[in-house]
């Protein structure tokens, strides 16, 4: 049976859908596909060319052809969508097929290190700050008067032997302790005073546990009614915060002599490592010696013009290197000052 022109036109349109699918099959990017799509559907495209024949058909047939044309347009759009979806899926599959050996080295994020002594010093200051202490500082090159005389250590005093001194001039020394900061603070501020003074000091001493430069932290409290027992309480708080972990460390005072305090004591903490049972670190005694302390001597108050009948006070001093050594198991004091990255980067 012969086909009608209408049927021929419809089958021509239907063929175009097949031709389009074949045309985009080898394409793998959307732009080329859209160009092909425009080629088929545009004003000069194949579909339009077929549709120009529409006027020649009987009017009654025209809706059928219109339907066929829409069907072709839908088929072409669907073919593009399907093809794009297939391509996206292929890309995703390819991406997921990637593997990276994450056991290769990391890209380094530069990690800085505060010196262990800085870390410990900052922690000490924080602990005392909890009790209301402020930080005070003073010069490292100091007058003999601030370093010794005002602290009741006159020239020829035997206690000067205890601190072999570097001199810069007759009356100028490298401070042997942070105690001159006490004097400067008391000269500058009337009581109440509550300060800690961390800083570097110098003594002519050089072996495995002594360095000619080392650092101390000094504490000073002056007010009405300050008691020797307050010194014990403050140091007990400190011991437990710094070494304690779960608390329960005691402070022991042993009488000792420092010309600028009376009574003067050596301060021991319960050994935090054996909890007082005795171990290598405390040489079996259960106690760790941590520093010197005492009640501010009336002669010191006199030197700075504070009335010792009205005010009392206490002072303490501790070596920061020693505390770091104890807590971090540092074996040689020299390691702190050599700038050795193998040491510095550990903390």
- Closer CB to Zn ion, 231 or 271, in the complex: 271
Q: Is 169 a binder of another protein (CB under 8 A)?
A: yes
**CA separation for the pair 184, 182 (Å, rounded):** 6
Distances (CA, A) of 71 to 19, 59, 65, 74, 244: 14, 19, 10, 5, 84
Q: Is 310 a binder of another protein (CB under 8 A)?
A: no
Both tokens of 29, joined, read: 């990017």
Q: Which does 282 bind (CB under 5 to 8 A by kind): another protein, Zn ion, none?
A: Zn ion
For 228, the 3-state DSSP assignment is helix
Closest distance of CB 256 from Zn ion, Å: 21
Contact 133, 234 (CB under 8 A): no
Distances (CA, A) of 326 to 208, 209, 269, 321, 329: 14, 12, 12, 9, 5
**CA separation for the pair 195, 323 (Å, rounded):** 19
Closest distance of CB 328 from Zn ion, Å: 16
Q: Is 233 a binder of another protein (CB under 8 A)?
A: yes
Piece in contact with another protein (CB under 8 A), picked from 33-41, 77-85, 89-97, 193-201: 193-201
Closest distance of CB 98 from another protein, Å: 19
Of positions 88, 168, 302, 310, contacts another protein by CB under 8 A: 168
**CA separation for the pair 153, 179 (Å, rounded):** 12
Q: Which does 111 bind (CB under 5 to 8 A by kind): Zn ion, another protein, none?
A: another protein
Distances (CA, A) of 219 to 34, 123, 213, 256, 319: 81, 15, 20, 18, 12
Q: Is 274 a binder of Zn ion (CB under 5 A)?
A: yes
Max alpha carbon distance in the chain (Å)? 139
Q: Is 156 a binder of another protein (CB under 8 A)?
A: yes
Q: Is 208 a binder of another protein (CB under 8 A)?
A: no
For another protein, the binding residues in 257-276 under the rule CB under 8 A are 257, 259, 262-266
For another protein, the binding residues in 281-300 under the rule CB under 8 A are 295, 297-298
Q: Which of 332, 301, 327 has its CA nearest to residue 314? A: 301
CA 332, 333, 336, 338 dihedral sign is: negative
Piece in contact with Zn ion (CB under 5 A), picked from 182-190, 243-251, 282-290, 335-343: 282-290
Q: Is 278 a binder of another protein (CB under 8 A)?
A: no
**CA separation for the pair 167, 8 (Å, rounded):** 117
Q: Is 220 a binder of another protein (CB under 8 A)?
A: no
For 267, the 3-state DSSP assignment is strand
Q: Is 107 a binder of another protein (CB under 8 A)?
A: yes
Which residue is nearest to Zn ion, using beta carbons?
A: 271
Q: Is 279 a binder of Zn ion (CB under 5 A)?
A: yes
Q: Is 221 a binder of another protein (CB under 8 A)?
A: yes
User: Which residues make up the interface to Zn ion (CB under 5 A)?
Assistant: 271, 273-274, 279, 281-282
């Amino acid at each position: 049976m012969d086909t009608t022109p209408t049927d021929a036109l419809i089958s021509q349109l239907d063929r175009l859908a097949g031709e389009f699918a074949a045309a985009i099959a080898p394409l793998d990017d959307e732009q080329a596909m859209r160009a092909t799509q425009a080629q088929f559907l545009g004003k000069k495209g194949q579909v339009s060319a077929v549709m120009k024949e529409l006027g020649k058909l009987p009017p009654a047939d025209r809706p059928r052809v219109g339907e066929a044309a829409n069907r072709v347009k839908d088929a072409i759009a669907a073919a593009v969508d399907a093809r794009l979806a297939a391509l996206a899926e292929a890309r995703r599959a390819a991406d997921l097929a990637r593997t990276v050996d994450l056991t290769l080295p990391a890209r380094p994020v530069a990690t800085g290190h505060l010196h262990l002594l800085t870390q410990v010093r900052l922690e000490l200051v924080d602990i005392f700050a909890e009790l209301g202490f402020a930080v005070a500082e003073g010069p490292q090159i100091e007058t003999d008067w601030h370093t010794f005389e005002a602290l009741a250590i006159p020239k020829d005093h035997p206690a000067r032997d205890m601190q072999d001194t570097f001199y810069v001039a007759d009356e100028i020394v490298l401070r042997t302790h942070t105690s001159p900061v006490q004097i400067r603070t008391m000269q500058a501020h009337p009581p109440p005073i509550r300060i800690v003074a961390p800083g570097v000091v110098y003594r002519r001493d050089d072996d495995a546990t002594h360095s000619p430069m080392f650092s101390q932290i000094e504490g000073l409290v002056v007010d009405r009614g300050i008691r020797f027992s307050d010194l014990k309480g403050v140091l007990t708080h400190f011991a437990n915060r710094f070494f304690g972990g779960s608390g329960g460390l005691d402070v022991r005072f042993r009488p000792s002599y420092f010309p600028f305090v009376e009574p003067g004591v050596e301060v021991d903490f319960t050994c935090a490592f054996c909890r007082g049972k005795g171990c290598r670190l405390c040489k079996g005694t259960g106690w760790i010696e941590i520093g010197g302390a005492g009640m501010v001597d009336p002669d010191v108050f006199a030197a700075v013009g504070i009335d010792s009948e009205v005010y009392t006070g206490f002072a303490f001093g501790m070596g920061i290197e020693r505390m770091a050594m104890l807590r971090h198991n540092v074996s040689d004091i020299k390691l702190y000052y050599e700038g050795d990255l193998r040491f510095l980067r550990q903390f």
